[in-house]
Amino acid sequence: MEVKVPATTTNFGSGFDTFGLALDLYNSFEFEPSDRYRIEVEGYGGGIPKDEGNLIVRVYKRACEVFGLEEVPLFIRQRNNIPPARGLGSSATAIVGGIEICCALHRKEIPLEEKMRVAFEFEPHPDNLLPAFLGGFVICVTDTDLLYHRLPFPEDLLLVFAVPDFEVPTKKAREVLKKEVRLEDAVFNLRRASLLVSSLLTGRYDLLRYAVQDKLHQPYRSVLVKGFERVAEEGYSAGAYAVFLSGAGPSVCAITTEEGASRVGEAMKRAFEKEGVGASVLKLKASEKGAFLKEKIYKI
C-alpha cells in the first residue's frame, strides 16, 4: 500500500498561521508489515533516520498508541519529491503520512479531530497539516477544537516557487518573530487577509498584490532569506499577481496565470542568482486532493 501526501504553501503574506493550500506535488510512502522497522529513502533527505528515529515511524507508533491499534513493525519506502526545510510543508507530509499509514494498515476510519490531535504533538501548524490532510485552500481558525473553512482554489491560477539552495528550519524562522505586535500592524494584516479571501473568491486577482502585504512575519524573516526583496520585485516586474514567502521560507511563491508562470519563475530564479544564491523553479497547481491511499492492484 502507498500513502501520498501533498506539499503545502502557507501564510500568503497577510494570513500568518492562518491560510494553507495543498499543492500537486506529493511525497509518497509505500509500506508493508515487516519483522522490524526498515526505511528506504529516495529523493530528498539522504540524512533522514532509517530506523525508529524516523519521523514517519515515530508518528505511526504514536498514532497506533492513541487510537488503540496494534503496532506492527513496517518496511517503508519513502519517496521525497518535496524539497525539505524550504517552506513547502515537507515535514507535515511525514506527520500526516505516519497517521494515514496507521489508519490504512488497520482499515480504520479515524475522525480528523483525533488525527490532528496526534499531528499537533509533532508540529503545531494547522496551516500545513489541514491542507495536507484535506486538500484545497484552508482557513485555519482554531487549533485544538479544530474550526476551519476549506475552500476550492481558483483553477486558473498557478503557484510558482523559487526554491533557493539553502534551508531555513521553521524553528529558526519563528525565533526571529516578535512576541508582541503593534495594534496598527495587526489591523494592517487583518485588512489584507480579508482582502485575500475576497479577491480569490471573486476573481479580482489585481488586488492580490495588496492582499499579500504583511507586517507580522515577512519583514523579520527576510533577514534569513538573502535576496527576498529583489526576488519579489522581479517577480512582480515579470507579471506576477502576488509574491510572498512560502510558509516560513526560504522559498518564494508567486501567484501567476498559466501563460505567465515560466516568465515569472525565470525572473525570480535570476533574482536569487544575482544575489549569489542558486535556486530552482517549481510550477505547481493547487490540489483539491489531500492525503490519499493507493493500493496495488494485482492482475491474476
Helix axes 228-237, 261-274, angle to 10 degrees: 150
Q: Give strand pairing partners of 253.
A: 161, 244
All three cell numbers of 219: 519583514
Nearest distance in Å: CB 92, ligand HSE: 7
* Grid cell of 265 as nine digits: 519563475
Asked whether position 97 contacts ligand HSE by CB under 6 A, the answer is: no
Place of cell 526545510: 85
- 222's grid cell: 527576510
| Segment contacting ligand HSE by CB under 6 A, of 10-18, 105-113, 230-238, 285-293 | 10-18
Burial class (CB in 10 A: 0-12, 13-18, 19+), 280: middle
| Site for ligand HSE contains 90 (CB under 6 A) | no
End-to-end CA distance of the chain: 18
Give me the least distance between CB of 19 and ligand HSE, in Å please: 9
For the CA atoms of the chain, what is the radius of gyration?
19
Omega before 124 within 30 of 0, i.e. cis: no
Considering only residues 169 through 198, tell me which ones interact with ligand HSE, judged by CB under 6 A.
Answer: 170, 173-174
Cβ proximity to ligand HSE: between 125 and 192 the closer is 125
Q: Give CA–CA dist 149/140, Å, rounded.
A: 7
The residue (of 88 and 255) whose beta carbon lies closer to ligand HSE is: 88
247 counts as binding ligand HSE under rule CB under 6 A: yes
CB of 110 to ligand HSE, least distance (A): 23
Listed in sequence order, the residues at least 6 apart from 6 whose beta carbon sits closer than 8 Å to its beta carbon are 22, 23, 24, 25, 26, 89, 93, 131, 132, 135, 287, 289, 290, 291
Site for ligand HSE (CB under 6 A): which residue of 14, 128, 222, 256? 128
Shortest spacing between CB 72 and ligand HSE, in angstroms: 31
Pick one of 1, 2, 17, 106: the residue that binds ligand HSE (CB under 6 A).
17
Q: Interface with ligand HSE by CB under 6 A: which range of 9-17, 42-50, 144-152, 250-258?
A: 9-17
Tell me the helix, strand and coil percentages in the chain, rounded to 5: 40, 25, 40
- Residues in 24-63 at the binding interface with ligand HSE, rule: CB under 6 A: none
Instruction: Select 17 or 71, whichever has its Cβ closest to ligand HSE.
Output: 17
- With respect to ligand HSE, which residue has the nearer C-beta, 110 or 224? 224
Question: Of the two residues 126 and 135, which places its CB atom closer to ligand HSE in the complex?
Answer: 126
Instruction: For residue 27, count other CB atoms closer than 10 A to its CB.
Output: 28
Contact with ligand HSE (CB under 6 A): which of 3, 6, 10, 286?
10
Q: How far is the CB of 173 from ligand HSE (least distance, A)?
A: 6
Among 25, 93, 100, 127, binds ligand HSE (CB under 6 A): 127
> Which residues sit at the interface with ligand HSE, rule CB under 6 A?
10-11, 17, 125, 127-128, 170, 173-174, 247-248
